[in-house]
Amino acid sequence: MSEEMWINMGPQHPMTHGLWNLRVRVDGETMTAAEPIVGYLHRGWEKMVENRTYPQIIPLADRLCYGSSFTWSHLYCLAAERVFNIEVPERAQYIRTACIEMQRISSHLMWLAAVGTDLGSYTILLYGMRERELFLDLMVELCGARMTYNYVRIGGVRNDTPPDFERNVTRVLDTFEPRIRDLEALCDECETFRMRTIDIGKINAADAMNLGLTGPSMRASGIDLDLRRHDPYEIYDELDFDVCTHTDGDCYARYRVRMDEMRESVKIIRQCLEKMPKGPTRVKVPRCPPKGTAVARVEDPRGESLMYMVSDGTDKPYRLKVRSPNYVNLSASPAMLLGNKISDVPAIMGVLDMCIGETDR
């Protein structure tokens, strides 16, 4: 005889990174239904930016997803540049690409730290945050802020790199690269970590495609799709890097993909520094763009993020639609949760890399 019951997790729960509510129906310990409820961080971003001029939106775009704020402000500027019809100087493109990859590393490190605490290993948090500080220091040196940078501008970047920046980045990368192995060892050689991630939250390639998963969660199911490769923006088509995929589709595969991506990011940053040309970093931009629409999409650390912008010729956008990768990934989470035990919820949801700021907008 079994009795089913509903369990609420959140909005205040150590499993939820941010505010959201997960309702699961359990039969014994097995989940038979799951229903994520979002909206606790909704602040009407898309409506709000209709009352802001184009440059005023950049800091707000930073705060869309605080884990990878650089990527979001960059995505906004990319969309705006397509509306304004302007070309970004080459040096600015290189600086942006290097920063995006640094942001990807720090976002993945934050994710690793969060997953570590979710799975009961505080050590991973301590080590992950230690490495993250290295990259945040570089960003402080570059633009003065640790998390919300406000550094990308429509038509370039705010300022050129400070003196000795390239040397400092190389030093940090030299320190960080061997430490990835240490971080992996903390997880791979931990029996508990492997038991709690291998074969948990499985999703196959067809389901991942149908549910609209993107980013590392999708590549872990064996689908080779990376917008940096398939729809290159900035200077990604000139760089040499691999798209990391895995075939298992479980939590462990998602973890592996992210760890491999950090290695690739280190490679990309090194190439950017090597090829970086001299020149201006910003072009002048008119106040009002011509009438028109534009779409820009980039590979966020969490998946494919997209912005659709409509301009009516004034200095404020008429409409700005955001496609956040996490909103779609979260709606795919019931497919991963069903059939697993209730104690696997932190592992599955933690490995998805939740960021509710961009989900609720």
Is 64 within 8 Å of 43 (Cβ atoms)? no
Q: For other proteins, which residue of 23, 25, 82, 146 counts as binding (CB under 8 A)? A: 146
Q: For other proteins, which residue of 32, 33, 40, 285 counts as binding (CB under 8 A)? A: 40
Query: Is 290 one of the binding residues for other proteins (CB under 8 A)?
Result: no
Size of the site for other proteins (CB under 8 A): 37
> Which range touches other proteins (CB under 8 A), out of 124-132, 185-193, 210-218, 320-328?
124-132
H helix intervals, 18-68: 45-48, 57-62
Is 89 within 8 Å of 285 (Cβ atoms)? no
Q: For other proteins, which residue of 6, 35, 126, 182 counts as binding (CB under 8 A)? A: 126
For residue 322, give the 3-state DSSP assignment: strand
Query: Is 55 one of the binding residues for other proteins (CB under 8 A)?
Result: no
Phi, psi of 35 (to 5 degrees): -150, 100
Q: What is the DSSP letter of 347?
A: H
d(CA 329, CA 359): 9
Beta-ladder partners of 8: 23
> Which range touches other proteins (CB under 8 A), out of 47-55, 168-176, 184-192, 206-214?
47-55
Sign of the dihedral defined by the CA atoms of residues 223, 220, 244, 324, in that order: positive
Return the structure tokens found at 254.
Answer: 């998602």
* CB closer to other proteins, 41 vs 205: 41
* CB closer to other proteins, 62 vs 344: 62
* CA 168 vs CA 42, 103, 174, 265: distances in Å: 39, 16, 10, 16
Scan for tokens 């934050």, then name that residue: 110
Query: Is 39 one of the binding residues for other proteins (CB under 8 A)?
Result: yes
Residues 58-77 that bind other proteins (CB under 8 A): 59-60, 63, 66-67
Q: For other proteins, which residue of 4, 8, 35, 130 counts as binding (CB under 8 A)? A: 130
CB of 338 to other proteins, least distance (A): 26
Query: Is 301 one of the binding residues for other proteins (CB under 8 A)?
Result: no
CB of 314 to other proteins, least distance (A): 18
Q: For other proteins, which residue of 6, 27, 28, 48 counts as binding (CB under 8 A)? A: 48
Q: For other proteins, which residue of 23, 25, 41, 232 counts as binding (CB under 8 A)? A: 41
CB of 48 to other proteins, least distance (A): 5
Q: What are the contacts of 290-295 at 24+ separation with CB within 8 A?
A: 290/83, 290/84, 290/85, 292/83, 293/83, 294/79, 294/80, 294/82, 294/83, 295/79, 295/82
CB of 41 to other proteins, least distance (A): 6
Distance of CA 151 to the CA centre of its chain: 17
Query: Is 23 one of the binding residues for other proteins (CB under 8 A)?
Result: no
Scan for tokens 């200077």, then name that residue: 235
CB of 57 to other proteins, least distance (A): 11
Query: Is 147 one of the binding residues for other proteins (CB under 8 A)?
Result: yes
Query: Is 44 one of the binding residues for other proteins (CB under 8 A)?
Result: yes
C-beta neighbour count of 195 within 10 angstroms: 12
CB of 130 to other proteins, least distance (A): 5
> Which range touches other proteins (CB under 8 A), out of 17-25, 153-161, 249-257, 278-286?
17-25
DSSP string for residues in 92-160: HHHHHHHHHHHHHHHHHHHHHHHHHHHTT-HHHHHHHHHHHHHHHHHHHHHHS-SS----EETTEESSP
* CB closer to other proteins, 146 vs 323: 146
Q: Which residues form the interface with other proteins (CB under 8 A)?
A: 11-14, 17-19, 39-45, 47-48, 51, 59-60, 63, 66-67, 110, 113-114, 125-126, 129-130, 132-133, 146-148, 356-357, 360
